[in-house]
Structure 1
């Protein structure tokens, strides 16, 4: 494999850098690089900027408004955005539901929903996990019973990320109890303004609010909101999860975090010497860097395969495992680099007034605690190892 960029790819990188320099608002990049929480308005603002340039839907075909980029160009764009401190693109509509509708949706569903994802009219959230049905989604119990031209939904979803901002949710629901559990699941699109839906916040370990639990009580959803065929939603669920696991890997986020960590290690001192010159810390940093470079190559290979075959393969599980553990390792090393300065955990009332850690690192503790979730959501890493052993090793 030639790991050097072609002249055309180098030109594209320069184009992306110029765009980010000209169009990425400084107040947004400052928030991102310092680890502060973005508001809904912040995320929508960057979404609109990218859509205006035609650079929003990097994973969609051009006929639906996609960029038509190669896997390498997608990688370049993601890496440069992360290094510049661009906000994360909310993935639920663009990177999850969008590909599902393009692959499985009806002509009417594509015509209605895809443009609304691009222009920001709809903010989607994901209704997969339930109490007792997290990584084992086949055991979900939220039911959807056919009643004429509607399904009537009853049940509960949990860990619904950014649901407080959303106006729509795509859900896995049980439409049959016959046969294997996977054979009775369907994929429904639900308007969150429908009567009978209640969303409650879940406060996380680091004090933030980004996930919710959602309750459905006799919620009536038109049959036309069914994606694909009834009871065949498990195929769609697996398709979507491969895209989710690829995005969870967060190659660009790891690159940006690694660059920040290297800069921090050159500033911090132990016993009068730079931390980066400490053999033990340097060895740990080098180990993460090696893993990160290997993940970059794996990511490019997987993207190329997905472009050829139309969807990611089981390698997305491997990428999810390595991507999340690398990000957690970087969080841990940043915490070690700060030493006692990592301990303060200011409340919102104190935030900005407690300057013990260096600028840009005052929220490292919050980031460390928040990212413990990475190896759990999207299917825990233990589940991913089971998938790999079954599909690739045939065990």
Structure 2
């Protein structure tokens, strides 16, 4: 397979790069370049700009507001967003829930929710993980009993990213407690303003509030908010998780962070010399650059070659593992370059140094979310032995 970009693909990259340069607010770019996470208003503002071109949901059909881009064009768009850097379109809305609604939702659900998901008029979060469940998602205990035209939900979710700023949550709930654990699960859309919902913050190791606990106490949800069939929510979950792994290698993110490491090393001095003049540091950066390129080529082969697609999920596990390792190595490199200055707590508007060491700490979580590294290794072992 030819892994070089075609003239049309190179032209598309130039088009995307020019659009970002013209439309991305400089203040947002500078904050992200320094390592700060995007604020909610940053993501909403930028996603609505992208949505004007159908690029908020580039893989969606045009009738739902997408652009129907091919796989390579989607990779190019994602790569340029990472490298700008720009806020990514809200993943729970566009990569996870949107495709689930198109496959399992009713026409009424699609007509109501999909335009709002694309334009970020509604912000969804994901209610899957629960205390004590770990990676065994099917062992969830949050239950929903049906009373007439409503489900009554009781239980708890944890590690719920952005629940504190979200409007809705899509959640897995158990609707048949007597069934086997992969059965008897349903997929519900729940308005977080509904009485009986309590959201409590979890502060992560970087000192930021990304995560939450969400409690449901006799929460009433219309049956019309059920996606797919009752007790068949596991089908929705498996489909969603397959979409979640698309682009999980995060090649563009790795490249952008390495470029930033070069910038920081160029302005950081050790005695009379710049850190970037150190031969060992340049060698380390060159090795990381080569590994990023190898990851990029592997990602292309996986997403663009039919024979590689047949290797899913083993091939996807390779991308997840290597992508995570590179992200963590580059964040560790940035923390070393920053030295003691990187340990200081930086304000949200500091675009000179940024939160380099807190970013390193938080990068450790990449070994867990999206499927733990241990689980990925088990998948690879079974593929090799089997």
> Does the alignment reach a TM-score above 0.5?
yes
Aligned to 1:107: 107
Q: Deviations over 1:345-369 (max 9, x none)?
A: 3467xx74xxxxxx64331012111
Alpha carbons 1:59, 1:99 under 8 Å: kept: no
Aligned to 1:289: 289
Shift of 1:280: 3.7
Q: Given the alignment, which residue of 365, 368, 372 partners 1:376?
A: 368
Q: Secondary structure at the match of 1:210?
A: strand
Shift of 1:313: 4.6
1:45-72 per-residue CA deviation (whole Å, 9 max, x = no partner) reads: 0011111222110222333222121222
Larger deviation, residues 24-33 vs 274-283:
274-283
Q: Which runs of 5+ in 1 are unaligned?
A: 353-358
2:379 is equivalent to residue 387 of structure 1: yes
Instruction: Please name the residue that 2:303 is paired with.
Output: 303
Structure 1 CA distance for aligned equivalents of residues 335 and 317 of structure 2: 27
Q: How far does residue 224 in structure 1 lie from its aligned partner after superposition?
A: 2.0
Shift of 1:35: 1.8
SS in 2 for 1:218: strand
**2:239 alignment partner in structure 1:** 239
**Inter-partner Cα distance in structure 2 for 1:116 and 1:388:** 38
Rounded to whole Å, the distance in 2 between the matches of 1:167 and 1:288 is: 40
Change (3 A) 1:334 1:180: same
Supply the distance in 1 between the matched residues of 2:302 and 2:229 (Cα, whole angstroms): 29
Q: Report what 1:7 is aligned to.
A: 7
| 153 and 388 in structure 1: CA distance in 2 versus 1, 3 angstrom threshold | farther
CA RMSD of aligned residues (A): 2.4
CA contact (8 A) 1:317 1:387 kept: yes
Q: Determine helix, strand or coil for the equivalent of 2:369.
A: coil
The match for 2:92 is 92
Q: Deviations over 1:261-290 (max 9, x none)?
A: 233334445465544454543443233223
- In the TM superposition, residue 384 of structure 1 has moved relative to its aligned partner by 2.1
1:303 deviates by 2.9
Kept after mapping to 1: 8 A contact 2:3/2:300: no
Structure 1 equivalent of residue 36 of structure 2: 36
Q: Partners in 2 of 1:299 and 1:61 — Cα distance?
A: 24
User: Are 1:251 and 2:251 matched, yes or no?
Assistant: yes
1:182 equivalent in alignment to 2:173: no
Q: CA deviation at 1:179?
A: 4.3
> 1:144: how far off?
1.2
Unaligned runs of 5+ in 2: none
State the alpha-carbon separation in 1 of the partners of residues 248 and 128 from structure 2.
16
- Residue 19 of structure 2 corresponds to which residue in structure 1? 19
SS of structure 1 residue aligned to 2:359: helix
Supply the distance in 2 between the matched residues of 1:291 and 1:217 (Cα, whole angstroms): 49
1:198-251 alpha-carbon deviations (Å, 9 max, x no partner): 111111112111111100011111222221222222222122112223344322
Q: Does structure 1 conserve the Cα–Cα contact (< 8 Å) formed by 2:146 and 2:152?
A: yes
Counterpart residue number, 1:203 = 203
SS of match in other structure, 1:93? helix
Q: For the Cα contact (< 8 Å) 2:36–2:354, is it kept in 1?
A: no
Please name the residue that 1:155 is paired with. 155
Change (3 A) 1:137 1:394: farther
1:388–1:187 CA distance, 2 compared to 1 (3 A):
farther
The alpha-carbon distance between structure 1 residues 316 and 99, as it changes in their structure 2 partners (threshold 3 A), is farther
Cα 1:328/1:69, change in 2 over 3 Å: same
Q: Deviations over 1:150-190 (max 9, x none)?
A: 21111000111111111110001112233431122221111
Q: 1:208-287 maps to which residues of 2 (within 5 A)? A: 208-270=208-270, 272-287=272-287
TM-score (norm 2): 0.92
In 1, distance between residues paired with 2:137 and 2:375?
A: 11
**Residue number in structure 2 paired with 1:321:** 321
* Number of equivalences: 385
1:257 CA drift (Å): 0.6
Distance 1:305 1:171, change over 3 A: farther
Give the equivalent residue in structure 1 for 2:146.
Answer: 146
| Cα separation, partners in 2 of 1:360 and 1:169, compared to 1, 3 Å | same
Q: Secondary structure at the match of 1:378?
A: coil
On the 8 A contact 2:265/2:275 being kept in 1, the answer is yes
Aligned 8 A contact 2:75 2:247 in 1:
no
Alpha-carbon distance in structure 1 between the residues aligned to 2:251 and 2:228: 32
